[in-house]
Amino acid sequence: MSFFKITDPEKRDSMVHEYLMLRNKIRQDSLSEKLGDIDQHRELTKLAKRVKRSNVKCDTSTASSISSYNTKCHYFPSIPKHTSRRG
C-alpha cells in the first residue's frame, strides 16, 4: 500500500471520500453478485425438482402400460434364444 503526501486538506478529504465510496461500491457489487447466484441456484433447484417429479410420473405410467400390454398379448409365442454354433 502506498501513501500520498497531500498537503491540501480539501483534496485529501476528497480522495479519501472517493476511495471509501469505491470500496463500498465494490463490496456492494460483490454482495449483489453472490445474492444473484443464490437466487439463480434456488430457481434451478425448483425447476430440477419439477422435472424429476415429471420423469418419475412418466416412468411409472410407461412401466404400467407396458406391463398391461404384455399381459394382453400373451398369445404371441416366445422368441427362442439364439445359440451360437461355433466350433
Digit-coded pLDDT (tens) for 17-53: 999 999 999 999 888 888 888 888 888 888 888 888 8
Three-state DSSP class for residue 4 = coil
Domain boundaries, the chain: 8-58
pLDDT given for residue 59 in this prediction = 80
pLDDT given for residue 41 in this prediction = 87
**Ordered DSSP codes for 10-41:** HHHHHHHHHHHHHHHHHHHHHHHHHHHHHHHH
Digit-coded pLDDT (tens) for 46-74: 888 888 888 888 888 777 777 766 565 55
Q: Please give the model's pTM, rounded to 2 decimal places.
A: 0.42
* Cell 483534496 found at: 11
Residue 3 has pLDDT above 90, yes or no: no
pLDDT given for residue 23 in this prediction = 94
